[in-house]
Structures are given as structure tokens and as C-alpha cells.
């Protein structure tokens, strides 16, 4: 079964750090671009970051640039999001999602999400 | 930055047709993807590249894109289609970013 499973969410104080993980299975992870998308409580979807299959291309939303770092380990079939200098507005469910085919393609496989709460 | 505008809500009776618009500057020059999200669940891709359907998505879901408006059409609406729907594009005008629309809540009467 093609699957993405996020982990690492939790409660963190403003200014703190958190590292999210996304474990892939059921497909050749190294062939696909992967994305992070988040959704604040009661709000819409917001794209966070994308990484190409070989990590050659990395992109960030302006709202997280300089604070978040996306990375991947193709040998471990894993994606990561290092989140530093967290703010209350980073509170959201974070999803990892597979890009179908190249940059800008639709996201056809999504994880169930992991919840990040930034609060004192 | 690029902005995608959707109507907040659309109501439709069962068996009728729902049309959800996604407005953006010259959106017809971009590839548009559409997602369905039910409460407490992850989004599901229902249309990609303007009008293609992933495997497993019913033919009742179709898309079009021209000028400044993209449209997701749901024919023969069923109760199970009640959900939030989001459009999405890849914007390379200033930097490389995905942009999501504001979202539309579809209510089946």
C-alpha cells in the first residue's frame, strides 16, 4: 500500500524548535518530489515547502523561509521538516504529500497529518 | 504574490450539478489541481492538470481552465460529495511557490 506517515508533532513554546518526520512506503520514494502542507485550526490549506527527488531543488513559503528546513533521506525513505523559531501562527496540522510528476504537479498521496501547537 | 479566489460556499441539491470557480490572474496559463477535504481527513486529489482525474476518482468530477477562471464541476451530486474543495497552482512568476485557493464549502441540500 502506498503510504505516508507523519510524526514528531507536539506542544512547543514560542521560539522553540521541532522536527517533523514523514515515513514513506509502498512506492519508490527517491523518484518523487515531496511537499509539506499545513492547515491551521479552522483554516484553509497552506503550502509550506517542497523538495525534489534528489534534493536538487528546495522551495519554501515566504512565511517559513529562514526558519524551516526541509530535507530527505532516500536511503531511509524519509522526509523531514526542521522547524525553528516557532511562532503561534505556526500552529497547524502538518501534512506531507507526494508530488505526482515533477515540480508543480498535483499531490496524489497524503499522510494523515501531525499536529503542531505553539503556545506558552 | 499570486492569489486564488474561490467562493466561500456552494449549495446544491442531490442529483444536480455543482460548479466551483477558482479565480486568478491569467490562471489559464497555469496547470490547476483540485482537492477535496472532508472533516478530520487529509485532502484528496480529485483533478490535476486542469482536467485529468486520478485513478479511482469518479467521472462525475471534471475540470476546465481558461482566461482568469478555473472551474471544478461535480455532476450528479451525491451526499458524499459534501466537503471543502481547494484549487492549487504552481506559481513561478516571482519565486517557485505552490498557491492554494481560499477554499469552497460544498453543501448538499
pLDDT tens digit sequence for B71-83 = 999 999 999 999 9
Contacts of B48 in chain A (CB under 8 A): 100, 105-106, 108
In this predicted structure, the answer to whether residue B93 has a pLDDT above a threshold of 90 is: no
Segment A1-38, tens digit of pLDDT:
999 999 999 999 999 999 999 999 999 999 999 999 99
Question: How many CB contacts within 8 angstroms connect chain A with chain B?
Answer: 70
> What b-and-e string marks burial along A35-72, b requiring 16 or more CB atoms within 10 Å of the CB?
bbbbbeeeeebbbbbbbbbeeeeebbbeebeeebebeb
CA distance B24 to B94: 15
CA distance B15 to B17: 7
Residue of chain A whose alpha carbon sits nearest to that of B32: A106
Q: What is the DSSP letter of B78?
A: -
CA distance A14 to B17: 46
Count CA atoms within 13 Å of residue B93 on its CB side. Answer: 13
Is A33 near chain B, with CB under 8 Å?
Answer: no
Segment B42-86, tens digit of pLDDT:
999 999 999 999 999 999 999 999 999 999 999 999 999 999 999
Contacts of B98 in chain A (CB under 8 A): 35, 37, 47, 50, 104
Amino acid at each position: 500500500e502506498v503510504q505516508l506517515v507523519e510524526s514528531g508533532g507536539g506542544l512547543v513554546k514560542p521560539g522553540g524548535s521541532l522536527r517533523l518526520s514523514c515515513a514513506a512506503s509502498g512506492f519508490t520514494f527517491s523518484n518523487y518530489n515531496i511537499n509539506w502542507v499545513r492547515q491551521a485550526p479552522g483554516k484553509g490549506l497552506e503550502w509550506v515547502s517542497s523538495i525534489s527527488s534528489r534534493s536538487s531543488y528546495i522551495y519554501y513559503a515566504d512565511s517559513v523561509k529562514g526558519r524551516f528546513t526541509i530535507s530527505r533521506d532516500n536511503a531511509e525513505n524519509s522526509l523531514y521538516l526542521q522547524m525553528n523559531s516557532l511562532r503561534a501562527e505556526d500552529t497547524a496540522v502538518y501534512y506531507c504529500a507526494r508530488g505526482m510528476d515533477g515540480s508543480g504537479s498535483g499531490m496524489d498521496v497524503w499522510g494523515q497529518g501531525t499536529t503542531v501547537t505553539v503556545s506558552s | 504574490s499570486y492569489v486564488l479566489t474561490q467562493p466561500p460556499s456552494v449549495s446544491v441539491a442531490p442529483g444536480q450539478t455543482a460548479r466551483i470557480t477558482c479565480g486568478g490572474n491569467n490562471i489559464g496559463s497555469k496547470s490547476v489541481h483540485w482537492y477535496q477535504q472532508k472533516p478530520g481527513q487529509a485532502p484528496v486529489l480529485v483533478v490535476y492538470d486542469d482536467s485529468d482525474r486520478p485513478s479511482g476518482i469518479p467521472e462525475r468530477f471534471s475540470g476546465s481552465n481558461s482566461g482568469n477562471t478555473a472551474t471544478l464541476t461535480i455532476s450528479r451530486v451525491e451526499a458524499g460529495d459534501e466537503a471543502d474543495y481547494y484549487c492549487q497552482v504552481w506559481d513561478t512568476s516571482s519565486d517557485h511557490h505552490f498557491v492554494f485557493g481560499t477554499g469552497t464549502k460544498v453543501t448538499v441540500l
